Chains A and B, each alone.
Chain A
Amino acid sequence: MSDSSAQSRQNLLEQAELTDQDLALNVTDMMDRQIDDAELFIQHNRSEAWALEDGKVKDGSFSVSQGVGVRAITGEKTGFAHTNELNERALRKACVMAASIADRGGNRRAEAPSDAPFRRLYPGGDPTAGVNNDDKVRFLSELDRFTRELDPRIAEVSISIRGSSDRVLVYGSDGTNQFDDRPLVNCRIHVIVKDGTRMESGTDGSGGRYPLDVFFREDSATAKDMARQAVRMAVTKLESVPAPAGEMPVVLGPGWAGVLLHEAVGHGLEGDCERKKTSCFAGKIGEKVASDLCTVVDDATLDGRRGSLSIDDEGTPGQRTVLIEDGILRGFMWDKHNAILTGNQSTGNGRRESFASLTIPRMTNTFLLAGESDPEDIVRSVTKGVYCSAFSGGQVDPSSGRFVFATTEAYLIENGKLTSPIHGCMLTGYPWDVMNSITMVGSDFALDPGIGTCGKQGQGVPVGVGQPTIKVEQITVGGTSA
């Protein structure tokens, strides 16, 4: 552990009015109550946000959330208690409550704590520290002015910037003793345009695990690009026609469209689905689940990305896991608990929204690797279909596998060319149908801009998605034009 990281860890413990001895003692006491595994998760999250609307920076907020979550595992059972009161007495009480799950013998002892080395993927410390409040306000106002000048039809602009630092300490009876200091920032812009009686909206944003001042550099070049994108999207949609309805070929553009992979296969490959046999992929390792062109990975180890994790919320170092290789199912994403129960190893995918939530297996950055097709050839190959470039999100029912995702920017493809923009609509399908009908994969791989949040069992965590341009031969497009 680096000096600054050790200092940051020490500060976290001091703020919590706890010592390393308190952690060791409470874990030992829990193990004495015949628990298989005990774990403490101490967290301090500081975040601030600034928002502009109607030309004014009139909203600012600052929040601190801190607490401890205690987990006691015996076989398949989990006892969990959390509190945002931080001191030895509150910790002890939470440990006793969590350990009350124990109902049968187990004589394990806590292992000596060891902080296994891992690679740091992002800088520690407060990502907003490098910018003073005057500059934040000026940035928002200038970006607002810049945006409004892009088109006379702009009726409303809202912009927000947000930065948080999240410090977590994981201490477990299996010897885990890890600390991580995770920055997270984003900038979002949303515009409404009006032409006569027609109104449309456009959005863009970007973010990741890096200092907030990235947005302020080089005359705010990144932010200005976002503004241009949002305005272009909104203005384009003013001309949009009703989306078609029914099954047809769909070309998905690079980057954001990776949300398709996230929904279609990602959730079904999370280890809890495999253990409980609730996924349509359960027990299918080694089987063909997608076209030969598809290789899908989950990779927590990308520097500074929104979904990246130096260590996961159980202290396991972030990893790159191949999920599907050339169409063959290769692996699932595991947290410790589900991995142990099924004889697997954690892949560093144990995540929780906060100390107040139970750890479950989750994705990090999940994407489809590049292929060899020229993106222009992909569009040219479609006689009649739809091209989608932006999405607002999706959802999946992992057991049937059925997924949906909503487009926010899409076009008709007619005789190999993009023609009219179409209204936003839902796409829906089953993973095996869709993944096996991916017939072209482009060479233009891109990750999303870094503003994705994935929800599962009521817990939201930051994630990344990505893909090159791909062609899906058949998928149901949920428009109104039958």
Chain B
Amino acid sequence: MSELVERLIEEAQRQGAHQSSATVSDSISVEVSARERDIENIAYEQGRAFRVSVYVDHREGTAVTSDVTDTAIRDTVTQALSIARFTESDPCNGLPDRDRLATEFPDLEQNFPQPVSIDQLKEDALVADASSLDFDPCIMPAHGASASQTATCSVRGNSLGFINANSYTIYGRSATALARSEAGMQTDYWFDQNCQLERVQSAEFIGREAAQRAVRRLNPRTVATGTYPVMYDRWTAPSLLYPLIEAISGGNLYRQESYLQDSLNTQVATTRLTLREYPHLHKRIQSRNCDADGVTTNEHTIIEKGVVNTYLLGTYSARRLELASTGHAGGVTNVHVEADLTPIDELLNELKQGLLVTSLIGSGTNLVTGDYSCGAAGFWIENGRIAYPVDNITIASNLDLMYKGIVGFGDDTQDRGTFKTGSILVDAMTVASN
């Protein structure tokens, strides 16, 4: 595959590109799903795609194809170049400066290939489905469970001599449970994924967790519309933090699509909040040595005591803002909440009366103004204890008020995805209900 990347770049330069970059990725995956205690689907996937970007006098053209025949390679490069001939010159276009490109690629231990065992995947899917169905009589056979494994290899290179191959595996298990009571049905799900098969939560646990989450939502009530403290549980907390990351990302800043324009070194969140990024953690799917442009990634304190310490910039957006790339083309890697953690029971006590959010639906964030409005479900908290499930409500505020109004971080930390965080308590949001 490295050879293919080199061939693409050679072809681009031969046809007249001043600079070029290319990416080739190959992936193989298998997913098995079970439903009503029987196998439902087996899906095999095998795909290869390549992408080439060319620059001529700071004009850019891109072409993508899945056809890797010699003719297709030649035609694709020609297409990219013909597009570059029509686009306008932009001095910010082009490859990163040579000295910013990653040169060392220590093994981040993300590749743990195993031969595909269809029998094992079937077994996992069946066990997860069964353990969900067996959890409680009110669980109905409905959506079922699945188990999957994927192996991906991608190679990235450019005409400055940069080349990097990256292989990783992803093993996943998931279950979706439907619980029924006389008052109606509720669905919830659970999943886990990891680059190492043995570190994925067991199929039995996945099924049980999905079922338990669906059952506890049964017979929801409503609450009176008003302003209350709101706690995002540890699984929904990442979606609270994500808009902050987006609002200080280069693309949104130079397009003026962020309420955090000119926010560098200003207070945008509670002094209790520090966000630190660790791109090189071993055995983490999100980790990487270089960003999508090939620029070296580094540890960063993104938010320090509520102050924006760095924007998150790729090569192009950095040039637009007359700053240096921070190695964030393609987004962030592993972001940790570093704050004084409160034991979760104490944090619930602090909440006293309000909403514990366990599920969010719909995206109602306006990054330009910071206005936030989202569908939610969860539990009503009375005297620091769960009183009853609530559903069909919205929670609304403004991101600026929300981040500055965070009053506590729970010690119930999880790090399944990009964010390592526990529950987060926001002092006041408008909860609307019928």
> What string of 1s and 0s marks CB contacts (under 8 Å) between B33-57 and chain A?
0010011111111111100000000
Complex Cα gap A64–B50 (Å)? 10
Question: Within the assembled complex, what's the spacing in Å between the Cα atoms of A201 and B64?
Answer: 31
Query: Is B93 close to A, CB under 8 A?
Result: yes
Within 8 A of B (CB), among A423-482: 423-430, 433, 474-482
- Chain B positions within 8 Å of A, measured between CB atoms, are 35, 38-49, 59-67, 72, 76, 79-80, 82-90, 93, 118, 140-143, 178, 184-187, 225-227, 254-257, 259, 361-364, 366, 368-369, 371, 373-375, 377, 391-398, 430-434
Contact B393 A397 (CB under 8 A): no
Q: Does A358 contact B (CB under 8 A)?
A: yes
- Of all chain B residues, the one with the shortest Cβ separation from A70 is B44
A280: chain B residues within 8 A (beta carbon): 184-185
Interface flags for A247-285 (1: CB within 8 Å of B; 0: not) read: 100000000000000000000000000001110100000
A binding-site residues for B, Cβ under 8 Å: 48, 50, 53-54, 56-67, 76-86, 94, 97-98, 100-101, 133-134, 136-137, 155-156, 158, 192, 194, 198-201, 243, 245-247, 276-278, 280, 356, 358, 392-395, 397-402, 404-406, 423-430, 433, 474-482
With the chains together, A77 CA to B36 CA distance in Å? 11
Is A423 a contact partner of B187 (Cβ separation < 8 A)? no
Residue in B63, B368, B369, B396 whose beta carbon sits within 8 Å of that of A62 in the complex: B63
A53 touches B434 (CB 8 A): no
A247 and B434 contact, Cβ closer than 8 Å, known pairs A57-B88, A277-B140: yes
With a 10 A CB-CB cut-off, give which of B43, B143, B254 has the most chain A CB atoms.
B43
19 new A-B contacts, CB < 8 A, other than A59-B60, A476-B392, are A50-B87, A60-B62, A60-B86, A63-B63, A65-B65, A77-B42, A79-B41, A81-B46, A82-B45, A83-B47, A133-B86, A156-B257, A200-B368, A245-B430, A400-B184, A425-B394, A475-B434, A477-B432, A480-B397
Q: Which residues from chain A contact B67 at a C-beta distance below 8 Å?
A: 64, 66, 84, 86
Q: A62-B80, A192-B256 are in contact. Are A476 and B434 (CB under 8 A)?
A: yes
Bound Cα distance A76, B38 (Å): 9
CA–CA, A307 and B311, complex, Å: 40
* Contact sample, A vs B, 19 pairs, CB 8 Å cutoff: A61-B62, A61-B63, A62-B61, A78-B40, A79-B41, A80-B41, A133-B82, A158-B255, A200-B368, A245-B394, A245-B431, A401-B184, A404-B394, A425-B373, A426-B375, A428-B362, A428-B392, A478-B373, A478-B430
> Contact: A356 with B62, CB < 8 Å?
no
Chain A residue with minimal CB distance to B226?
A: A482
Partner of A400, one of B61, B257, B391: B391
Chain B interface mostly: strand
By a CB distance below 8 angstroms, the chain A residues around B184 are: 280, 400-401
**A276 and B143 form a contact (CB under 8 A):** yes
CA distance A97 to B184 in the complex (A): 40
Minimal Cβ-Cβ distance residue in A for B258: A199
The answer on a CB contact under 8 Å between A395 and B66 is no
Within 8 Å CB of A404, what residues of B?
361-362, 364, 374-375, 394
B66, A64: Cβ atoms closer than 8 Å: yes
Cα A192 to Cα B259 with chains together (Å): 12
B43 and A433: CB pair below 8 A? no
A400 to chain B, nearest CB (A): 6
Contact check, A62 vs B43: say whether CB atoms are below 8 A apart.
no
B66 contacts A200, CB within 8 Å?
no
Residues of A within 8 A of B432 (CB): 245-247, 428, 476-479, 482
5 closest A-B pairs by CB: A478-B394, A404-B375, A404-B362, A60-B83, A63-B64
Contacting pair A358 B430 (CB below 8 A): no
**B40–A61 touching, CB < 8 Å:** no
B255 surroundings in chain A (CB, below 8 A):
53, 156, 158, 192
Q: Please name all residues of chain A whose beta carbon is closer than 8 Å to the beta carbon of B60 when the two chains form the complex.
A: 58-60
